[in-house]
Amino acid sequence: MTTKTEPKKARAVGINHIALEVGNIDEALEFYGTFLDFEITRQSETAAFIYFGDQFINFALGREQGPDEKRHFGIAVDDKDLARETLEGMGITFLDGRFMDFLDPWGNRVEITTYTNIQFSKADHVLRGMGLGHLEKTEHAVEELRKRNLGP
């Protein structure tokens, strides 16, 4: 009896960055910078790179398609209520549903979530470097991580 072995594959370690198409780099930096604290590492007329510790968003000039419907990305924040208040003050309307989703001015769908409530984790030294060493996961988030052998 012959057994077929699965070919060896590279293991995904995480998402390093995403690229968002925007209509104007300066306007994107102003929009996202109104409700998020980040570091701009590079900027030109056609691109900008904003860092959240060890991950980043690349704003790339050019948006041809219509608004996103289901495709989206999530940004984990330390204070979801503050993000909501700020976005509402900016005139942002949240999309229907149980999550805090909205469309940016270029139609990119964004979800805001709370870092402490989700399974995603940053290394302690990265959090400390970001000035967020005080953040701790909720017991539910820790339990979910443990179920997958990823918990502390």
Q: Is 42 inside a domain boundary?
A: yes
Q: Is 119 inside a domain boundary?
A: yes
Q: Is 6 inside a domain boundary?
A: no
Task: Report the side by side order of strands in the sheet with 47-52.
Answer: 17-22, 55-61, 47-52, 39-43
Domain that holds residue 51: 17-62+69-147
User: Does the predicted TM-score (pTM) go above 0.85?
Assistant: yes
Pairing between strand 55-61 and 47-52?
Answer: antiparallel
Q: Is 8 inside a domain boundary?
A: no
Contacts of 43 (CB under 8 A, 6+ apart): 25, 29, 49
What is the tally of structural domains in the chain? 1
Compute CA 1 distance to the chain's CA centroid, rounded to the nearest angstrom: 48
Q: Is 11 inside a domain boundary?
A: no
Q: Is 48 inside a domain boundary?
A: yes
Q: What is the pLDDT of residues 42-92, one digit of tens each?
A: 999 999 999 999 999 999 999 888 999 999 999 999 999 999 999 999 999
Q: Is 10 inside a domain boundary?
A: no
Give the pLDDT band of residue 1 (cuts 50, 70, 90): low
CA dihedral of 108, 81, 39, 23, whole degrees rounded to 10: 20
**Could you tell me the CATH number of the domain that includes residue 140?**
3.10.180.10
Q: Is 1 inside a domain boundary?
A: no
Please give the Cα distance from 121 to 29 (Å, whole number): 25
Q: What is the pLDDT of residues 100-114, one digit of tens each?
A: 999 999 999 999 999
